[in-house]
Every structure is written in structure tokens, then in C-alpha cells.
Structure 1
Amino acid sequence: MSSTFWTNTIWFFLLFVTSIITNVIIFHKTNNKKFCIAFLFSIIGLSFVFEAILVLGLNAYSYYPKLFRDSYLDIIFGNYFSQISISSTSLLLATFDLSYVWYGIFAIIYFIIDIIFVKLGIYEHFWYKSIYTIFGFILFSFLARKWYIIAKKSTNYFINYLSLYFCVASFSTFSIFLGQRLLGIQLLRSNIFFTDINRNNTSSGFIYQFIVLNYLIILYKSRLNWIVKTLALSCLYIAQYFAYRAGYIFIHKGLFFTVTSLDLLGCYCLIAVFNYLLSE
């Protein structure tokens, strides 16, 4: 086992363990487990957006869990551990309807964790300050609570749509897009936003995911018959093929249909599953 496991990785794993414990408590106590499972991923999806702005756009901080030799992939996984923890705690506050005193208590806990991680050298600030964590956590958790209350009872199309989008976006990132990246069978290429290739690929991934998921969600929720839906889905295959031929998407030779099917059909199935869970 690498020496960096005991100096870096273990702290992120411990953070993840606390997330698991938090969710076990939530799902043990809640009466609506299906909705909570789906809504957890909705919160995680929203946290990814904020994290992308801070890490990609504003270069606020960086993580060093030392899981991968690829430094940027390592940062992404550090981000996952962090955001899963914060999202799980936010869901705990919302589902248990805890008083605002608890928001302050957990904000201070994350503030202390932030300081400890910086001292350990497994997390680095550039312009970001630990004190920002207190305000950021309280604001994010307050937003998650309001969203939870509305989404739990609302029949509003827009609220339900947002919940479904962020839910599928986060889960597909873990299961499909990240899996393809780790296996090296699909990679988005662009030189539009940043000089750094990893930042370009990640930002392109967000845009690609935004377009594809919205297209698929609208298609799923539409009342079109299955023939029209199949034709509409085929258009995405064609669009992805043109992007592949133009060099914007790298797909391992001979795997275009397999990878694209996993991508598009996989996301479509996730939409169906999470739409069911959120409606419970």
C-alpha cells in the first residue's frame, strides 16, 4: 500500500465514511426513503455546479487525496468526497427539520475540517479562506432545505425538472462519464475555455452533459409515441457521430456504438428510475 494512503487518502476515506453513517441515519429515520435517495443525488448535482465554478472557473482551491497519478483526476475525486459529505449533511438538516443552531454547529465542524485538511497538506487554498466555508455551508444547506420542502410536496413542473436534472447529472457523472474516463474509452476534447487540457475537457463535459440530459429528459417526459422517441434518440447518435468524426469526442476505436449506447441509453434509463423515485 502506498505511503500516501496514510498521509492523504485515508482522510478522504474517513470523510466518506462519515457520509455513509449520515445517510444510514437519514434512511433509517425517514418515512420516504425513495425520495430521499433521489434527492440526495439532486443536492450533490447542485453542489457540483458550485464546485465547478470555484475550482474550474475561479481556481479557488485544490484537493490532494493521492488516489491517481493523474493530478486533475485526483482533484476531481477529492471534490467528490467533499461534496458528498456536505450534501449528506445538508440532507440530514433538511429531513430532520433541525433548528438553525445546527446549521451553525455543522458549519463550524466543516470549518475545522477545512483548517485541518490544509494543515495536513491534503487540501490547498489559492485565494479561498477557511472562514468562507462557514458562510458557504450555511447558505448551501439553507437552499437545500428550501428546495427539499418544495420538491417533496410540489407538483410544479420546473421544480420537479430541476430535481430530476441534478439527480441524473450527479449519478451519471459517477457511474457513466467517470467510468468512461477511467477506462480511457471516451474523452471530450476542446480548446475553447482554458489553456489547460484537463480544465477544457471537464468544462466541455459539463456542457455536453447539460445538452444531452436536457434533450433526454424532455424526450422522456414528452407524450410522443415510441416510434418518434426512437427517431429523436437516433438523432443524438448521429450528432455524437459527427462530433466524434470532427475530433471533439475521442472514443476508443471500434467502440463507438457501445460507448454511445451506454452514454445515451444509460442516461435515459437513469431518468426513468429517478423520475419514479422523486415522484414517490
Structure 2
Amino acid sequence: MNFNSWWYMGLAIISLGILIFIYSKKRKSSFLLLFLVMVEFAFLIETVIYIFGGSYQYFPKIIKYNSYYDSNVGALVSNLLIVPALATLIGVFKLNWLWISFFTAFLTFTEWLFLRLNIYEHNWWKTGYTTFGLLFVFFPLGKVIYRQISKPLKGIKHSIFLFLCTAPILGCMHIIPIMWLSNRAYFLGWFKDYAHDTTAFASLYHVVVAIIFTILIKINWRHRGLKYLVMASITFVTTLILTKIGILKSYVWWDPWYYIFYHVIVLTMSGAISKRLSRGSSGRSI
């Protein structure tokens, strides 16, 4: 592990430490649901500014064979770990503006330091944008979201939060194997680098699948197994179509089956999350 990698690893360890601390103090699944929601908000923001907007680039030097996938690792440390973990800490413990300002200053300083160490680079982004977004939007949002998911949810609000909790699981299970195992790639011609193309398509794909999951969960099925059959069929047909028109290329035999398998697994998890959201904060585990 080189110099760059240690800094990103340090942030990851801090993030995990924060989540373990929250769990040790608040043994309720609501903190995990809040974390998932904040991860998805971070993913949606990054889809716009980082993937399609080209705002900045990370250099963790962990994935050697492709610089864009390597940059994605840095993005995951930020948007899957440290930023949502701090937002979860703020929301669960209802921390005031002093704490919000402190954590904003910490991440602002971290960004400044990473820039000086040349392990992170701005294109058109400014550190001030990060400060403003965290201080006035993202961190306060954590407190608002936690109040919402602590109550029993129904109707459209239940559907929205079910989507926000399910989408990040789908997104991670979709792109992480691609980055590390090169099991598939998407070719659309949107960007020069196939890895950028793949990341962009995957970022949209997981949103569409999460919407489908939400619809399937909300339907009252007479036979529970039917929704799994429908989801597996949709995944299988989508894979065939994308392959046929030349967008998808699979490089290992298990690739199509993995996406069917994990969709079925996450659909089960989504059902459990749905029940938990309906109960409110009374549940201790998902």
C-alpha cells in the first residue's frame, strides 16, 4: 500500500469507527436506515457533479489497471463512508450547529489537505462548494431524515424512503464487482474511457432497478415467490437486450447469474426494510 492509499484507508477506518460507535450507543436499526438514505443522497449528488459533471478526481492508487475506477474508490470512501457516517452521527444524536460546523470544518480541512498532498484534484469544483453543501444542506438533512424514519411511514413517503434505503445497496453491489473483478462493462460512447461509461450507466441503472424494487414490494402479491420470478425475469431480459444491442459486454461466465442472484437477495432485504419503515423506531433490528 502506497502513500496515497494510506490516507484514504485512514478515512475509511474513521468512518467505520463512527458507525461502530453509533451502533454501540443506539442499538436500533433506524441508524442504519438513516445511513443508507444519506449514502443514496450522496450517490445522487455525485452522479450529477462527479460522474456526469467531472467536478474532481481522486488518486488513492488502489486499483492499478484503470485510473477512473481508482478514482471511484476515492469517491466511495467519501460518499459511501465518511460523509454519510458523519451525517448519521449528527442525525442520530441530534447534534447542534456547533457540531455540524465542527464536522464541516473537519471535512473542509481534509479536502484542502488532500489537494495539497496531490491525492485529490479539482477540475471546476471549489472547496467552498463542499463547505456550503455540508453545512447548510447535507448535515442538517441528516437530522430531518432521522426524525422522519423514526415514525411509522405510509403511502408515498414510505415509498420514497424505501427507494432511498434500497438504492445504495443495489448501486454498491452493481459497480464494486465491476471495478475489482472486471466482470462486465457498458459501452455507450458517452465518455472516452469505457470505465467512465460503465460507471455512468451503472449510476442510472441502479436508480431504475430501485424504483422497480419499490413497486414490486408495494404490490400485494398473492404468492410471495411471484415477485422474485418477475424480478429475475426483468433482469434476465434486460441483460439479453443490452448484450444484443452492444451496450453490455460480459467477460466471465458468472456475470449474468450474479446480477440475477443479488437482485433476488436485495429484494428480500428490501421487503424487510419496508416492514421496518412501516413500524417506525420501535424495531431494534432489520
The answer to whether the 8 A contact 1:16-1:81 is kept is: yes
Alpha-carbon separation, structure 2, partners of 1:220 and 1:41: 18
Matched, 1:96 2:69: no
Percent same amino acid at aligned positions?
20
Measure how far apart 1:90 and its partner are: 0.7
Q: Which runs of 5+ in 2 are unaligned?
A: none
Provide, for residues 148-176 of structure 1, a one-character-per-residue CA deviation record: whole Å limited to 9, x for no partner: 21122142333332322232222233334
Describe the superposition over 1:219-277 as per-residue Cα deviations: whole angstroms up to 9, x where unpaired: 12211223653553324422332222222222236446523422432332332343345
Q: Distance in 2 between matches of 1:252 and 1:232?
A: 26
1:148 maps to what in 2? Answer: 146
For residues 1-280 of structure 1, the aligned pairs below 5 Å read 2=1, 5=2, 7-32=3-28, 34-69=29-64, 70-83=66-79, 84-138=81-135, 139-191=137-189, 193-226=190-223, 228-229=226-227, 232-233=230-231, 234-252=233-251, 254-255=253-254, 257-278=256-277, 279=279, 280=283
1:65-86 Cα distance to aligned partner (Å, 9 max, x none): 0001210111111011112101
Say what the alpha-carbon RMSD is for the aligned residues.
2.2
TM-score (normalizing by structure 1): 0.88
SS in 2 for 1:194: coil
User: What SS class does the counterpart of residue 150 from structure 2 fall into?
Assistant: helix
TM-score (norm 2): 0.87
Compare 207-216 and 99-108 and name the one that shifted more. 207-216
Letter in 2 for 1:120: L
Point out the more displaced range, 226-235 or 212-221.
226-235
Change beyond 3 A, Cα 1:272–1:110: same
Other structure's SS at 2:185 match: strand
Report if aligned partners of 2:173, 2:262 keep a CA contact under 8 Å in 1.
Answer: no
Report the 3-state secondary structure (helix = DSSP H, G, I; strand = E; otherwise coil) of the residue aligned with 2:191: coil
SS state of the match for residue 153, structure 1? coil
- Partners of 1:235 and 1:66 lie apart in 2 by 37
Segment drifting more, 84-93 vs 201-210: 201-210
Whole-angstrom distance in 2 between the partners of 1:230 and 1:78: 34
Q: CA 1:235 to 1:13, structure 2 compared with 1: closer, same or farther past 3 Å?
A: closer
For 1:254 and 1:28, how far apart are their aligned partners in 2?
42
2: CA distance, partners of 1:24 / 1:91: 12
Contact 2:63-2:180 at 8 Å conserved across structures: no
Segment drifting more, 79-88 vs 162-171: 162-171
Report if aligned partners of 2:108, 2:131 keep a CA contact under 8 Å in 1: yes
Shift of 1:145: 1.6
